[in-house]
Structure 1
Amino acid sequence: MIHSFRKFFEFAGRQSRNWYLGLFYEIIRCILEALQFAALLVVLDGLVHDNITAQTALLAFGIMLVSVIGTAIFWYLAHGKEGEGSYRMCEDKRIQIGNRMKYMPMGYFNSHSLGNLTSVSTATMSDLESMSFAVIVRTLVGVIHASIFSVAMSYFSWKISLIFLTGVILFMVINTMLLRCSKRLSPIRLDAQTEFMDAVLEYIQGMSVVRAFHMAKQSNTTLEKSIDETKRKNQLIERQRIPYIAAEQVVLRIASAAAAFCSIALFINGTLELTYCLIILVSAFMVYSQLESAGEMFFMLSMIDASIDRVEEINQSPQIDIDGKEQTPDRLDIEMQDVSFSYGDKKVIDHVSLTIPQGTTTAIVGPSGSGKTTLVNLIARFWDVDS
């Protein structure tokens, strides 16, 4: 998990400052939110000792006011920085990919699926925009929030604090297993996105061919199969994560119940004041509130990790020589040798060889659907391909 967070902040580049500021504001927000327990403690202490006065009410109100206003202010500051960091980070990466594609050799597009490039630039980057804001922040804040509240409980009883911290540790143990499962399944999800994008692009770009060769039914079937396969893989991922998330929730609920029963036992034994016992009972099921909601987000952490790898793979692609000397080829002839091409089972170009000398004009004639456009597109598309 630490490796994934480190990779994300390195990926964020110059926007990492916004993310660090956002997390700092989130920590302050968690501390201010914890002040609500101080207000509750003041009221409960007054009730237990039958000493409720106007001063007690004003003190509790003042603490709650600081807590609510401070929490709202730092929530606003944190979300502003996190949102800016998320969208600007993806903006920078999209521009970086676009600039990189300007200098990619044409052979790169032959050996790497156009669907992969399109998927990374659209679906993958959109996932990073939405998931990074939700996952990175919610997971870190969930752990920080639970840890701060667990440590704060040591003010009342170190035994209660230890129980809450044990719940956090057991949660993280199960979460480690969840992340391993997510790491194994994340590439499957990204591959499904790429295959789906390939099918959509093939369907759109080949629309004229579909109409010319009456292949609408076959083309629709291919696209539908891709949609079904994408759905199947996403459902597989969802089914795999359910047991881990359920186990995390059970651990947190058991820890909360154990803390509540322990506080009652300590009160009965006379080692814990009634005021402290009551506040622990009230807060037992609030300590893990944000960690519980963050539990489902942890599964997506490895998906962010895999998405970052896909983006960086494009940024590490080869580049053409843009600083070299101008070169003039010996000849500018167009030559094709033994070229064949099919749309599905329909072969439209069958072992064609031709040579068009430089400085000449050539006309390719034939009936509609004979492969003229396909042949011209092949000449224009694969002019720099060696094999």
Structure 2
Amino acid sequence: MLKTIRKIINWTGDRKSRLYWGFLWSFLHSMFTAMPIMGAAYILELMIKDFNGEKALDPIWALRAVMFMIAMVLGRFLFAYLRATFQESIAYEKTAEVRMRVGDILKRVSLGFFDKNNAGEILGAVTTDLSVLEMYSMKMTDVYVGGYISAFTMVLCISFFRWEIALIAIVGIIGSAVFLHILNRRSCRNAKVHQAAQNNLIASVLEYIRGISVVKAYGQEGVSADRITNAFNAHRKINVKIELDYVTANCLHQLCLKLSSVGIAVAAALMAVNNVISVSLFLMFCIFSFVIFAQVEQINNAAHTLELIEATYEKLDRIERVDFIDEASRDKKLHAFDVHFENVCFGYDRRRVLDNISFTIPQGTTTAIVGPSGSGKTTVCNLLARFYDVNKGRISIGRTDIRELKCDSLLSNISMVFQNVYLFNDSVINNIRFGKPDATEEEVIDAAKKACCHSFIAKLPQGYQTVIGEGGSSLSGGEKQRISLARAILKDAPIIILDEATASVDPENEYEIQKAISALAKGKTMLVIAHRLATIENADQIVVLDEGKIVQKGTHEQLMNKEGLYNRFVAIRQKAESWSIA
């Protein structure tokens, strides 16, 4: 636990001084908890002497003692308030910074990072795990550090009266610490298993929600429910195991403290019977025996939580140590926007996808990439956007290798329209404005008109202020695609990447999208992946890929006059487009 406490203290960074001030307030809070007990003993001593006729009770001294106790009680609440003010907000401030930093990291890593790490683990890191840090790091630090500060402060106060009583308290604290260490070791083993079960649960729930339409379509509710039920059961079992591991060591920890409390009371009683101490001191020690270990008893609750925090730090450390794809890059303003692929090779793990491809997209022209599924078309787009880095060769824009550019610097020059459009759970205007956050409403509407989506947006209940639901669930595929094109038009980047933007839309929507693409393409360097002839036949250049290699290159007319893959592709597309149900 000490190791984790040190990590928490170091994690606070430039807020560390506030944490230390919190420890000071905890110490003073403990002092002001102990002093009223001693004050009560003093008043009781005066009352006993007055009752026995040894010394008359001085009302002024009694009043002073009462005022002293009231001041101590008020001081106790003051220092509790100061500790909370200085410490409690640290975790929330720091966690907000970490979330922003993790968001920046995820933006700058290769997409391969997401292929190698499941969504549940990443989502768990930035939500559940960071919530543990947010809610419990300061509380558990205060329970652990404040608990021992409180106990040893009271032991110090007791030692001024009888060192023997203080020694009994110290023995109890040491005994409980031994069993807390055992509890900590068990919690350490369980924390990572608990976190893995939790990540698996999150991933299973995500998969179930994302695939619910497929599950219903194939009538596999039972099979899918079994998977998520198994994840729930695994999570339940590890939680039960944690509780069972916790019980024995926790009971022994509590037993040491309770025996020590009884020992203090018994020792004080024996001393009082033998006239070693007064009745008032005996009563004071009895009161101390009830309160001295109150905060130490709570440390058992911190053991497992601190190990969860330790596991969270390890997970965050793995994320923060990941290599940025643009680590050695810099911000640079581009002035030319011709694109060059030079002897580019790329593969996912050991599977080669692109093999030594070279082509140029002159500035202001359109190049279409054509080829069968799995030929590497989408990979070409991903490499140009630098979602991955090439294994060999280079990609340059205006003769600047894109590996020299920071991701933000590169992507500020690129607009992308994907086949599967993602819209945010926000208003239509904000979804379009995502392409240019500072755009005026007039600019947004102008972009929507060019993307041929203004008319259907105007018919929505609140027009541009209509909230469209997560993923654009309330819109059709064609409508979402046109809003995506409006984003790209609004961004007005010099390079456009279209990844099968018309692949899954009906003819009416395809016509509207083609008009939007024409508006988008004016004066831009464009890379297009498409299967439909209307999208590619007017391209300035067509690059035909097969098994990761360029097998043909030219205009539509040039390639149609040659035997080859493109000619066969066009014939198949024409046959497919003329197909109808008899």
Using the size of structure 2 for normalisation, the TM-score is 0.57
Moved more, 2-11 or 182-191: 2-11
> Paired residue for 1:349?
none
The whole-number CA distance in structure 1 between the counterparts of 2:15 and 2:340 is 44
Determine the C-alpha separation between the residues in 1 that align with 2:58 and 2:317.
63
C-alpha distance 114-267 of structure 1, shift in aligned 2 (>3 A): same
Alignment map for 1:347-386 (pairs within 5 Å): 354-355=374-375
Q: How far apart, CA to CA, are the structure 2 residues paired with 1:362 and 1:265?
A: 89
How much has 1:291 moved relative to structure 2?
Answer: 1.4
Query: What is the aligned counterpart of 2:208 among 203, 207, 212?
Result: 203
**Cα distance, 1:118 vs structure 2:** 0.2
Q: Tell whether the 8 Å contact from 1:8 to 1:308 is kept in structure 2 after alignment.
A: no
Other-structure match for 1:38: 38
Report the equivalent of 1:382: none
Go from structure 1 to structure 2 and tell me whether the alpha carbon gap of 1:146 and 1:213 turns closer, same or farther (over 3 Å shift).
same
Q: Distance in 2 between matches of 1:77 and 1:306?
A: 30
CA RMSD of aligned residues (A): 3.0
The answer (yes or no) to whether the contact 1:100–1:315 under 8 Å persists in 2 is: yes
Displacement of 1:29 after TM fit?
1.1
Summarize the Cα distance change of 1:213–1:162 in structure 2 as closer, same or farther, 3 Å threshold: same
Residue 24 of structure 2 aligns with an amino acid whose one-letter code is: F
* Greater Cα offset, 129-138 or 49-58: 49-58
2:104 to 99, 102, 108: 99
CA shift in 2, pair 1:210/1:333, >3 Å: farther
Do the aligned partners of 1:147 and 1:168 also contact (CA within 8 Å) in 2? no
Decide which of 300, 309, 316 is 1:311's aligned counterpart. Answer: 316
How many Å apart are 1:112 and its aligned residue? 1.0
Q: Which amino acid aligns with 2:151?
A: A
1:292 counterpart residue number: 297
Greater strand proportion = 2
| 2: CA distance, partners of 1:356 / 1:160 | 79
Structure with the higher helix share, 1 or 2: 1
Structure 1 139/362 Cα, relative in aligned 2: closer, same or farther at 3 Å? closer
Alignment match, 1:24: 24
Distance 1:163 1:205, change over 3 A: same
Match of 2:341 in 1: 329
- Superposed CA deviations along residues 2-42 of structure 1, whole A, max 9, x for unmatched, are 22211111222233233222222111111112111222122
Deviations 1:167-206 (A, max 9, x none): 1111111111111111111101111111011111111222
The amino acid that maps onto 1:30 is S
| Structure 1 residue 209 displacement after superposition | 2.6
Distance between the aligned counterparts of 1:256 and 1:360, measured in 2?
73
Question: Distance between the aligned counterparts of 1:165 and 1:362, measured in 2?
Answer: 73
Match of 2:76 among 68, 71, 79: 71
**Cα separation, 1, equivalents of 2:346 and 2:213:** 26
3-state DSSP of counterpart to 2:375: strand
- Cα distance in 1 for partners of 2:82, 2:245 equals 36
Segments of structure 2 that go 5 or more residues without pairing to the other structure are 51-55, 354-371, 381-497, 505-528, 530-547, 549-582
For structure 1, the residue ranges without an aligned partner over 5 or more in a row are 340-351, 366-375, 377-385
Q: Distance in 2 between matches of 1:294 and 1:334?
A: 54
Distance 1:356 1:25, change over 3 A: closer
Q: Is the 8 A contact 2:23 2:83 kept in 1?
A: yes
Cα-to-partner distance string for 1:77-106 (whole Å, 9 max, x where unaligned): 111122211111111111111111111111
**Paired residues of 1:116 and 1:194 also in contact (CA < 8 A):** yes
Mapped contact 2:38–2:284 kept (Cα < 8 A): no
For residues 248 and 114 of structure 1, the distance between their equivalents in structure 2, rounded to whole angstroms, comes to 39
In the alignment, what sits opposite 2:285? 280
Task: Give the direction of change, closer, same or farther, for the CA distance of 1:57–1:295 in structure 2 (3 Å limit).
Answer: farther
Matched residues, percent identical? 22
- Check 1:235–1:52 CA distance in 2 against 1; reply closer, same or farther (3 A cut): farther
Where do 1:143-154 residues align within 5 Å? 143-154=148-159
2-side partners of 1:287 and 1:87: how far apart? 31
Amino acid at match of 2:257: L
Write the letter of the residue equivalent to 1:241: Y
Partner of 1:105, secondary structure, is: coil
Which region of structure 1 is more displaced relative to structure 2, 174-183 or 297-306?
297-306
Deviation, 1:116, is 0.6
CA offsets 1:54-89 (integer angstroms, 9 cap, x no match):
224312211112111111111111111222111111
Residues 65 and 330 of structure 1, relative CA distance in 2, 3 Å threshold: same
**Cross-structure match for 2:390:** none
Conservation of the 8 A alpha-carbon contact between 1:26 and 1:75: yes
Cα 1:311–1:274 change in 2 (3 A) is: same
